[in-house]
Amino acid sequence: MNDRKALWVWVGIAVVVIAAVWGGVSWMLRSSAPKPAMIAPVHAPAGQVVAGFPQGLILGASASTSPASAGSASGSSGGSPGILAGITNSYSIHYSSSTNQYTAEWVSPSSTAALYAAYTAYVTKSGWTITKQADYPTLKEIFATQASASFGIIITPQAPSGNAGAKVIATYVGTAGQ
């Protein structure tokens, strides 16, 4: 009987050793496997739109102007005056030679409803196909496609300040300025 107990003890030790070796080898293989490269965004200088973002997608203003001058009606070109109060963030992410993302964020003195109406009309007249739209009191969004490009815009009230106006985030995915 003692021999049988000793045999089970050795079998148990062998199972523990094999499991430890297997776990160690698995851990080493996982930790030495190449990690996917992180794609870092390239930010535009403060107050400017990143190169490659289609300037026509920012209605009513010259997107390269500084926040101080961009909000005035005289600083506007085309579209509705006063839609842009200032670029707050803009960046690009290059996924491949043919797929890039260009994003611009800005504050507008216009209401969310006025911006939503202006962008709905612009997208429709410019040959984009609207794939998704939402019109809620605190969120307005439009997503559209055109050829091999996609455009999305999200418009929210300027919160938490309670001031009139809106925060706008526009994203274009395609090739630069297509």
- What does the domain layout of the chain look like in residue ranges? 1-35, 42-174
Q: Could you tell me which residue, 19 or 48, shows the higher pLDDT?
A: 48
Per-residue pLDDT reduced to its tens digit, 75-132: 333 344 345 558 899 999 998 888 899 999 998 888 889 999 999 999 999 999 999 9
The per-residue pLDDT for 162 is 57
The per-residue pLDDT for 142 is 96
Of 101, 92, 109, 113, nearest in space to 155 by CA: 113
Per-residue pLDDT reduced to its tens digit, 36-54: 777 889 999 988 899 999 8
What percentage of the chain carries pLDDT values higher than 90? 36
Written as six digits, the tokens of 150 are 């996609």
Q: What gap in Å lies between CA 143 and CA 130, rounded to an integer? A: 6
